[in-house]
Structure 1
Amino acid sequence: MALPSLRQLQYLVALHEHQHFGRAAEACNVTQSTLSAGLKELEAVLRMRLVERNRRNVVFTPVGLTVVRRADDLLLRARDLSLVRDGNAATPSGTLRLSLIPTIAPFLLPGILQSVRAAYSDLQLQIHEEMSHEGCAGLSSGTRDCMLLALPFDCGDFEYAPIFDDPIVVAMHRDDPLANLSAVQPDDLPTDRLLLLREGHCLRDHALRACRRSTGAAPGASLPTLIQMVDAAMGVTLLPEMAVDSGLLEGTNVVVRPLSSEDAWRTIAFAWRRNSPRSEAYGAFAAMIEEACRRKKWSGLAASALDDRLAHA
């Protein structure tokens, strides 16, 4: 009985991801004719039509979509097989593809990269800054090995190691009436001047949860943009404390005050796939990051509290 090859399945998954024969071939480092021939061979082996071919677009048949999902899972398991040799290693080695979200990466990396180089001199660390849903998808598909994200977020059924709690604070112009308060109540926040990040940023959801709102203006694509708007007295915003600690407000007229809300926090956590052959190594890597953060005086989070945080995802 003829069986499809992993290479053929890789071609199919790449075509589904890129929706273009040329880009899929480039991603697989083959010519377009090679990829097309491989897909035809796969259809012949399976005796079913997977892709409708025309000049304008790529359309997968219903059975083709089913095969893509199963091929994705098989390829992930095949990648894990290649890690079995190093599965008992207590420390990371080789290449580690790390995903970080934009509201963590620029503030956390300066404090941990030196520690990473000192602890794992042979490790080839690949940094991927991307939105939470993109990193979680990469973790599921195997294109990312691990991830630093902010909880609560519905990422998936992965292993999570808490790193520290990151309070959410209110940022306003120093002449704003809110600056006269020692702490800001959620009801004190101006509905018409509350500036938040755009949809897709998990910090937007964390901020809305913290101030007990369901909606808010979304003019910002980045935290520096929001800070510049607040500096121009256009409104107030909510920031993670780690961004403030990094010096992001230096040279501005922006000040911060605590937000009096039991939800005014997010949890920075390290995640990886359950039952990965490198689970022990990833756990050691997470512990190293946690220790580096402690040295920066970011407070830790008891591991027993993580289940409660995940329950709110």
Structure 2
Amino acid sequence: MELPSLRQLQYLISLHDHQHFGRAADACNVTQSTLSSGLKELEATLGMRLVERTRRVVVFTPVGVSVAHRAREILLRTRELALLGSGPLAGVLQMSVIPTIAPFLLPRILSQVRAHHPGLEVQIQEEMSREGCANLSSGRSDCLLLALPYDCGDFEYVTLFDDPIVVALRADDPLAAAPTIESRDLAQDKLLLLHEGHCLRDHALKACRRPDQGPRSAPGASIHTLVQLVNAGMGVTLLPQMAVDAGVVAGTEVVTRPLTGGEARRIICLAWRRNSPRAEGLARLALTLRNIDQGASSTAPERRLGV
């Protein structure tokens, strides 16, 4: 019985991801004709039509969608088998990181991760929490740096550290005279938050005890944008402390004050698939990340199941 090749399955997955023959071929580093021929050979081997070819769009047949999902699982398991022969923290590691963590934490940790684990090549994918969780589940990523609480899925994860959420406002704002700020003092029509889809938006609303309603003012696409809007006198915002520590308000008239209440924080964690063959190594990596943040702590991080 003739079986499909892993390369043919990779072509199918790439086409399913990109929905375009040219982009799928580029992702596989082959010509479009090579990819198309490989898919035709796959269809001949399986004896079924997987893709309807038109001039403008790519349409997967129902059985083609099913085969693409199964092919993704096969390639994931094959990749995990290949990792069994290497050390738990050796080779390429695909790490997804959410945008409200990546620019502030990565500069602080990447060089030290290389120093602690010289055999590990970390490749970073910056993406929103929803995409990061999906890519972790599908095997496109090996692990994910994200902020809790977030309903990500049934993964194993390690808590790294708490990240307080603080109020950012102009120094000449009357609220800035207080050492701490109560959530009730934040005017609804002056509160600037990130666009829908950023988990930090939900964390900020929870921190100021407004889980059921967002701000009426225009939101920002990034933390840096929010700071500039505050600096221009357009309102106040809520920032993660790690962004403040990284200097996001430097050179502006923006100051920060603690927000009262025990929910004014998010929890930074490292997550991975429960049955990953790299679980032992990823737990060690999490310990490295926690030690980098806390400074030579030898306490094992808290390890849990299910994000």
SS for the counterpart of 1:219 is coil
Map of 1:43 onto structure 2: 43
Question: How far is 1:20 from its partner?
Answer: 0.7
**Which amino acid is 1:204 matched to?**
R
Is residue 9 of structure 1 aligned with residue 6 of structure 2? no
Map of 2:302 onto structure 1: 303
**Stretches of structure 2 lacking an aligned partner (at least 5 in a row):** none
Instruction: Write out per-residue CA displacement over residues 202-240 of structure 1, whole angstroms, 9 at most, x where no aligned residue.
Output: 111111121222212453111111111111111000000
In 2, Cα distance between equivalents of 1:59 and 1:178: 56
In 2, Cα distance between equivalents of 1:204 and 1:283: 28
Relative to the length of structure 2, the TM-score reads 0.92
Superposed counterparts of 1:212-251, under 5 Å: 212-213=209-210, 214-216=213-215, 217-251=217-251
Is residue 150 of structure 1 aligned with residue 164 of structure 2? no
In 1, Cα distance between equivalents of 2:239 and 2:148: 15
Question: How far is 1:45 from its partner?
Answer: 2.3
Identity score, percent:
61
Please list every run of at least 4 consecutive aligned residues from structure 1 whose deviation after the TM superposition is greater than 3 angstroms: none
Question: How far is 1:179 from its partner?
Answer: 1.4
SS for the counterpart of 1:45 is helix
In 2, Cα distance between equivalents of 1:192 and 1:169: 18
Relative to the length of structure 1, the TM-score reads 0.90
Map of 1:31 onto structure 2: 31
In 2, Cα distance between equivalents of 1:296 and 1:262: 27
Question: How far is 1:62 from its partner?
Answer: 1.6
**Which amino acid is 1:303 matched to?**
E
In 2, Cα distance between equivalents of 1:219 and 1:138: 27
Superposed counterparts of 1:114-133, under 5 Å: 114-133=111-130
In 2, Cα distance between equivalents of 1:132 and 1:296: 29
SS for the counterpart of 1:289 is helix
C-alpha contact (below 8 Å) 2:158/2:301 kept by paired residues? no
1:172 to 1:104, Cα distance in 2 relative to 1, 3 A: same
Number of corresponding residues: 303
**Which amino acid is 2:119 matched to?**
D
In 1, Cα distance between equivalents of 2:38 and 2:236: 56
Output the aligned Cα RMSD. Answer: 2.1
Is residue 102 of structure 1 aligned with residue 102 of structure 2? no
Of 37-46 and 71-80, more deviation after overlay is shown by 37-46
C-alpha contact (below 8 Å) 1:163/1:301 kept by paired residues? no
Is residue 276 of structure 1 aligned with residue 276 of structure 2? yes
C-alpha contact (below 8 Å) 2:168/2:254 kept by paired residues? yes
